[in-house]
């Protein structure tokens, strides 16, 4: 799992744009999107060399994961891209569940919504999906 997590993290981090706005103002007076961010939003990609094709493939896999398994996607994004530790992601998941009034699962009537094992299981499931889909 560590091998694949590192592999996907390296590709995925490079694909996410680092700037949202350029220093220009658009015709309607709002800040203009940076070209990299606009391309990322619309997925309007030009042909790229092999390494860029691999990175784009990883991005497509992660977008597919986001459509079919949102929680796994969130966990992978927070750990692989943002560099959070498993414990921090578990705290974030629990805070999110509490804020959104998500009911406890039937097998766990009280306590935290997510344990470290739950977060690890979500990460493993996300990596497995990405590996199988890549």
Would 122 be classed as within a structural domain? Answer: yes
Sign of CA dihedral 130, 7, 56, 121: positive
**Is residue 41 situated within a structural domain?**
no
In a domain, 53, yes or no: yes
For residue 107, is it within any domain? yes
How many domains does the chain fold into? 1
The answer as to whether 25 is a domain residue is no
Q: What is the pLDDT of residue 36?
A: 65
**Domain assignment of residue 24, yes or no:** no
Rounded CA separation 46/23 (Å): 24
| pLDDT value of position 14 | 66
Mean pLDDT by 10 residues, the chain (134 residues): 83 66 73 70 53 78 92 94 93 94 84 93 96 89
Residue 30 lies in a domain: no
Residues listed for the chain: 134
State the chain's maximal CA–CA distance in angstroms.
Answer: 55
d(CA 113, CA 107): 11
């Amino acid at each position: 799992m560590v091998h694949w997590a590192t592999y996907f993290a390296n590709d995925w981090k490079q694909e996410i744009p680092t700037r949202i706005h350029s220093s220009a103002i658009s015709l309607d007076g709002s800040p203009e999107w940076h070209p990299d961010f606009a391309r990322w939003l619309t997925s309007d990609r030009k042909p790229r060399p092999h390494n860029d094709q691999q990175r784009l493939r990883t991005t497509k896999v992660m977008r597919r994961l986001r459509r079919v398994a949102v929680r796994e996607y969130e966990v992978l994004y927070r750990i692989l891209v943002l560099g959070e530790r498993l414990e921090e992601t578990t705290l974030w998941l629990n805070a999110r569940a509490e804020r959104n009034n998500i009911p406890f699962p039937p097998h766990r009537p009280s306590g935290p919504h997510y344990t470290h094992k739950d977060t690890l299981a979500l990460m493993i499931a996300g990596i497995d999906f990405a590996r199988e889909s890549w």
